[in-house]
Amino acid sequence: MAVETTPLLDPYRFCPRCGSERFVGNNAQSKRCLSCGLEYYVNPRAAVVALITDEAGNILVCRRAKEPAQGTLDLPGGFTDLNETAEEAVAREVLEETSLTVTRCRYLFSLQNRYLYSGVVIPTMDLFFACEVADFSPLSAHDDVAAVRFLPRAEIKPELFGLASVRKGIARILEENF
Ligand SMILES: [Zn+2]
C-alpha of residue 125 to centroid of ligand 1, in Å: 28
C-alpha of residue 30 to centroid of ligand 1, in Å: 13
- 2 in a domain, yes or no? no
pLDDT digit string, tens, across residues 86-107: 999 999 999 999 999 999 999 9
Same domain, yes or no: 11 and 51: no
Same domain, yes or no: 32 and 56: no
Q: How much of the chain exceeds pLDDT 70, in percent?
A: 99
Side-chain half-sphere CA neighbours of 87 within 13 A = 6
Residue 13: count other Cβ atoms within 10 Å of its Cβ: 9
Same domain, yes or no: 36 and 72: no
Same domain, yes or no: 16 and 100: no
Can you tell me the distance from the alpha carbon of 26 to that of 32, in angstroms, rounded to the nearest whole number? 5
What per-residue confidence (pLDDT) applies to 2?
A: 60
Same domain, yes or no: 124 and 50: yes
pLDDT digit string, tens, across residues 9-23: 999 999 999 999 999
pLDDT at 165 > cutoff 80: yes
Can you tell me the distance from the alpha carbon of 81 to that of 158, in angstroms, rounded to the nearest whole number? 28
Can you tell me the distance from the alpha carbon of 139 to that of 150, in angstroms, rounded to the nearest whole number? 10
Same domain, yes or no: 37 and 53: no
Same domain, yes or no: 118 and 96: yes
C-alpha of residue 21 to centroid of ligand 1, in Å: 8
Side-chain half-sphere CA neighbours of 101 within 13 A = 5
Instruction: Select from 74, 87, 90 the least CA-distant residue to 149.
Output: 74
pLDDT digit string, tens, across residues 131-155: 999 999 999 988 888 999 999 999 9
- 57 in a domain, yes or no? yes
Q: Kindly list the distances between the CA atom of residue 6 and the CA atoms of 12, 24, 151, 178, in Å, as whole numbers in the listed order.
A: 11, 12, 39, 35
Mean pLDDT of the 98-122 span = 93
C-alpha of residue 24 to centroid of ligand 1, in Å: 10
Number of domains in the chain: 2
What per-residue confidence (pLDDT) applies to 60?
A: 97
Same domain, yes or no: 102 and 78: yes
Q: What is the mean pLDDT of the chain?
A: 94
Question: 108 pLDDT band (50/70/90 cuts)?
Answer: very high
Range of the domain at 31: 7-41
What per-residue confidence (pLDDT) applies to 110?
A: 97
pLDDT digit string, tens, across residues 44-90: 999 999 999 999 999 999 999 888 889 999 999 999 999 999 999 99
Which residues lie at CB < 5 A from ion ligand 1? 15, 17-18, 20, 33, 35-36, 38
- Kindly tell me the sign of the dihedral angle through the C-alpha atoms of 107, 108, 109, 115: negative
Same domain, yes or no: 31 and 62: no
What per-residue confidence (pLDDT) applies to 1?
A: 57
Same domain, yes or no: 14 and 67: no
Mean pLDDT of the 162-168 span = 93
